[in-house]
Structure 1
Amino acid sequence: MESSIRITVYNLRNSQGHVLVSVFKSEDGFPNNPAKAVKLIKSKITGDKVEIVLDNMPDGDYAISVMHDENDNGKMDTGAFGIPKEGYGASNDAKAVLGPPSYKDAHFKHQQSTSLKIKMKYF
């Protein structure tokens, strides 16, 4: 069955650039290799949050990663020790502990319509 996934990304520190959303069906590539995502979305920022609706998504397990690409270069900018300079987040507000969030912590089961809130985090 297919239905929508509604994603609200909040806690954006400014409206520069875009929010990049990557949807994964397995841990392969999650969260840092968008080429392995089943869906990619680039959303304009108009306030302190972004709302995205993914229509016609088959039921199943997914994990979503988001990035605030403030300088619109299409990648996560990092500083010393690989610490992100731009905002990031994941479904289930999965935590990044000594590395990126895991698929296991971020995955969710989509059945019928699903609504998610993802908090953007900054260092």
Structure 2
Amino acid sequence: MKTFITTIALFISLLSFAQETTHTLKVTVPNATSDKGEMVFALNTKETFMVAAPVQSAAVKIEDGVATVTFENVAPGEYAIIVLHDLNGNQRMDFKDGMPAENYNVSGGQMSFGPPVFGDAKFTLKEDTEMSIRL
């Protein structure tokens, strides 16, 4: 009986080690031009960046030009964030004459002409992380 209980205890402890460690990612936009609308955040992998639904997303209120979101239970790996100041709350980027009509940026902050590129926006998540993305 003692061996059986020890075996069960060992099995349960091994299960806890088998579970993948996840992390928390806190992202702040410190410089919204107004509190109008909401800030939309999209956490993407290379496979979802600009082509599919993000791994996680959130829309939050802007207060005094600052918006902050916390993504929970994020597996270690390479990610990129797209952030959009959604002025009219329609949950998508609006365009005027083919150009974005609302402010946006990506992690890494490297904006060029044309759509964002995953390689410029990617970062590696290995631990709980806080980052800032300026618009």
TM-score class, shorter: 0.7 to 0.9
- Please list the CA deviations of residues 21-75 of structure 1 after superposition, one character each: whole Å capped at 9, or x if unmatched: 111111x4424x5x42111101111121111111211111100000000011121
- Counterpart of 1:12, as a letter, is A
Q: Say if 2:48 and 2:55, in contact at 8 Å, map to a contact too.
A: no
**C-alpha distance in 2, partners of 1:29/1:100?**
14
Greater share of residues in strand: 1
The answer to whether 1:23 aligns with 2:43 is yes
Question: What are the within-5 Å matches in structure 2 for residues 71-110 of structure 1?
Answer: 71-80=88-97, 82-95=98-111, 97-110=112-125
Question: Paired residues, what number?
Answer: 115
What percent of counterpart residues are identical? 30
Unaligned runs of 5+ in 2: 1-20
Q: Structure 2 length normalisation: TM-score?
A: 0.79
Unaligned runs of 5+ in 1: none
After TM superposition, the runs of 4+ consecutive aligned structure 1 residues lying more than 6 A away are none
| Larger RCO, structure (CA 8 Å, separation 6 or more) | 1
Larger-Rg structure: 2
User: What SS is found at the alignment partner of 1:4?
Assistant: strand
Greater share of residues in helix: 2
Q: Say if 2:41 and 2:58, in contact at 8 Å, map to a contact too.
A: yes
User: What SS is found at the alignment partner of 1:36?
Assistant: coil
